[in-house]
Amino acid sequence: MIKIVVSCGSGVVTSAIVARYVADFLDAHGYAGRYELVRCCMADAPARCTDADFLIATTVAPMGITCEYVSGVPFLTGKGRTDAEKQILDLMAR
């Protein structure tokens, strides 16, 4: 099971939007049932990432993360979305 942490400033609104988009995207690419999404606020991200495969965050990568980082901003703005999706698919294929 691939663990993906989705984080935003407070862990409430934008992380929910990004998590829903990522779940739909991964399911459409054949990954249904092969990943776990965990939402949190940025302050909790370093601790949540200790056993995660990667972090998708709507802010800059926080200090102390030990997993791969993907910017979640493209899933809110649309700009750079294709590159972010490719990065996620590459990480899922590892």
pTM equals: 0.94
**52-87, pLDDT tens digit by residue?**
999 999 999 888 899 999 999 999 999 999 999 999
35-41 and 2-8: which strand pairing? Answer: parallel
pLDDT tens-digit profile of 6-18?
Answer: 999 887 899 999 9
**Tokens representing residue 61 in the block:** 């990568």
Q: Which H or E element spans position 73? A: none
